[in-house]
Structure 1
Amino acid sequence: MFNGDFNGARLREARRFNKKTISEIADMLNVSKQMVSKYENGKAAPAFDSVFTIIKELGFPREFYYAKDEYSMGSEGTFFRSRYTSTQKEKVPAEYSKKYVAIIRDYLNNFLDFPELEWSLTGEDYSPEEYAKFIRNEWNLGEKPIIDIMNLLEEHGFVVSNVKNSSDKVDAFSSRVEINESSYFIIMIEGENFSFYRQQFSLAHELGHWLMHQGMYNPQELDRDTYRIMEDEANSFAAAFLLPQSTFSKTVSANPRQIDFYLSLKKIWNVSISMMIMRARNLDIISTDDYIKLQRQLNYRGWRKEEPLDNIKRISEPIALKQAVQILVENNIIEGYEIPREISGRYGIALPSGMIEELTNVEQGYLKYTQPEIISLKDIKIKKDKLDGGFYGKA
């Protein structure tokens, strides 16, 4: 039934993706921790009944554990918005999800032409404010509000995906990933419990990392202070990009000390009230005392946890990968159920169809095989006779 040798590294990957410890796997298989370590290090192979348990409990198909990588991969380290409040155990599934998205995108590139990301725009010696002006000029955005930054990023070649890893400490993360010498900048939005306006800022933050920091450092090797500086720079860029100085200053200056005025501006600029207040302070439109008073009003009204409009405007969903999969399937280029099989054959990694559906944002079950309904001529004749009888019966 199983071809080839058991790949212990894949057991480790599936275990860590599921946030399981070696002890938990040992209890699940009724073996010692030392034996699980042997499985993962290729010094022993689990019995068939144990393999079946692994498949059932960890969610990866059997082929996943009996194949090896047929692709080369490189990554420059991941920018996590909550690096110091999230544990390594929480980050690992995110890292694997990022890799899987890059593989899926690379596979889809065999069929479709996606927008090309302009890597030459990165690495300039600009401040966050200058970089915000620079990229707006490059993308011909002027100083108008950003209606939907997710759509904007996908149009310019970024790979965006939602992932539900059940972590409340990681908002978004991103990094450059190279698969078979093709480079992708992957941005992952994690979870569902955030607003459209928070999503706008998170994506702008990751855009800032791409422009200012990618290729310069491995984020996970930086000390706390240096990493904090990079996070602050990305935050400053996001604010300047979403709220360009000249136009925003003109709109907010009409009534910058009234919190209800910011609510009306929220509908225009598509960012949170708290962010606009912070931007107004940084641009010296309001004083420190004004800023403190507005912050107190945010607390008094309970707008720290949820602002008005947050539960009305729906978050944006990434569509590039979804549309690519749908184009292939709906135009009969490939059957949906063949996509996981194709990825497994080309890259040596068998991903669950449900995982591919989630990462590409297609509906659940879209990539599963459906047994075609077989209708016999006898069935057709019976149906016709019933229809004829009904028609003449009315006459």
Structure 2
Amino acid sequence: MFNPQRLIIARERRAMTKKFVADRIGLAPIQIHRYETGENEPSDENLNKLSDLLGFPLAFFSGGDVDQPRRDNASFRGLASKTARVMDAALASGAVAYLVDDWIGERYNRVPLDLPEFEPEMPPALAARALRQHWRLGDKPIENMVHLLEAKGIRVFSLAENTKDVDAFSVWRDDVPYIFLNRFKSAERSRFDAAHELCHLCLHKHGGAAAVHKNSPIEKDAQSFAGSFLMPESDLRAIIHSSIYNVEDLLRYKTRWRVAAVALAYRLSEIHMISESRINSFYVEMSRRGWLKNEPNGIIREQSHIWQQIIDDLRSQGIGKSDMVRETGIPVNEWEGLLFGLANMLSIDGEGKKTPPRKVDLRIV
């Protein structure tokens, strides 16, 4: 049976207005409204037109109801600056990710969650230190943020949007945390975004992180948490013995903590290892050189251990992309967008001999 909620998700996923959809398939906008409210059902002909326009197979529109992230429970960076259409497209991506995650959960035993919840009043630097202690990380640099999040039971997806408008967002779905990362940003930025969203998950679980401006106290707390978590003060002071006089020094040191030079500069300023005037001069110089968008000595982009394990196992079972689309109703481009930069889906192009289904334990190594 036709599910109007899924039409809304598909339309918002493509960032299309009701009027645009109506114009493209030759209907009045009020008719699309009636489809989405369930007042009317589209004819087979119109449903085929909607499927073609929105790029979702017919099977998608007949599935059950879908959980959806909401604006009031998803933490977006600088929400106030986002257009409703951009926001809704990203949230619709989250709804599709939930469907993917449920399909995976039928086949694989997921890693149990290990994420303590802190009081939102806790100072962010203290929360970062407490989380490191809870996870027994010590003060050394974190080699791979994606691997770490997955090892603690946090679900990591890519944002399919090739846009500067959405850096990342995080959300709780019942008792399961999700982080969505924009993989079109630099690898260093993606690491920092992951740590930023980790703060929202453990400090702002019960709201307060959603409708905020990028300069709000909550966002500043998340930035401070991310800097403290990725660059512990004790490690910075142990490694950096001499003064930082120029941006080349920042490039040399940043590789240890796998962060952007500007993030290292702000962290050093935060713990008073360099002055505010010096960081301002560094910022001007890095901007002049174009480093704020693309700086030298970039790191290799972090990939997922869990997702690659799943993709490899599906391939070993003879499950290909067409099977995944048929069973979920989710088009290939959505699968690829959600896993972009996290796993190599090209390895699952071919289809082989099917093996009997079995539930597999996902491993963290």
TM-score in terms of structure 1 length? 0.80
Mapped pair 1:355 → 2:334: yes
- The one-character-per-residue Cα deviations of 1:132-156 (angstroms, maximum 9, x if unpaired) are 1111111121111122211111111
Tell me the CA shift for residue 166 of structure 1.
3.1
Mapped pair 1:201 → 2:192: yes
What percent identity do the matched residue pairs reach? 24
Any idea what SS the aligned residue of 1:166 has?
coil
- Counterpart CA distance in 1 for 2:105 and 2:275 is 51
- Counterpart CA distance in 2 for 1:199 and 1:176 is 20
Quickly say closer, same or farther: Cα 1:355–1:125, change in 2 above 3 A.
same
Any idea what SS the aligned residue of 2:108 has?
coil
Which ranges in structure 2 are unaligned for 5 or more consecutive residues?
Answer: 355-365
Mapped pair 1:296 → 2:255: no
- The one-character-per-residue Cα deviations of 1:280-337 (angstroms, maximum 9, x if unpaired) are 1111112233223323322333322321123xx33222341332243244145x6664
Mapped pair 1:263 → 2:251: yes
- Counterpart CA distance in 2 for 1:271 and 1:203 is 12
Any idea what SS the aligned residue of 2:283 has?
helix
Spell out the pairing of 1:246-285 with structure 2 (5 A cutoff). 246-285=234-273
Tell me the CA shift for residue 18 of structure 1.
0.7
The aligned counterpart of 1:65 is: 61
The aligned counterpart of 1:286 is: 274
Tell me the CA shift for residue 206 of structure 1.
0.7
- Counterpart CA distance in 2 for 1:64 and 1:99 is 12
- Counterpart CA distance in 2 for 1:78 and 1:273 is 29
Mapped pair 1:144 → 2:123: no
- Counterpart CA distance in 2 for 1:366 and 1:301 is 41
- The one-character-per-residue Cα deviations of 1:181-218 (angstroms, maximum 9, x if unpaired) are xx3211111241x2111111111101111121112x15
Mapped pair 1:314 → 2:306: no
Quickly say closer, same or farther: Cα 1:172–1:278, change in 2 above 3 A.
same
- Counterpart CA distance in 1 for 2:308 and 2:333 is 13
Contact 1:159 1:185 (8 Å CA) reproduced: yes
Any idea what SS the aligned residue of 2:345 has?
coil
Quickly say closer, same or farther: Cα 1:107–1:242, change in 2 above 3 A.
same
Task: Return the index of the structure with the highest Cα Rg.
Answer: 1
Spell out the pairing of 1:82-161 with structure 2 (5 A cutoff). 82-123=78-119, 126-161=122-157
Quickly say closer, same or farther: Cα 1:365–1:44, change in 2 above 3 A.
farther
Tell me the CA shift for residue 167 of structure 1.
2.7
TM-score in terms of structure 2 length? 0.86
**For residue 330 of structure 1, what is the amino acid of its counterpart?**
S
Q: Residue 79 of structure 1: which of 67, 72, 75 is its match?
A: 75
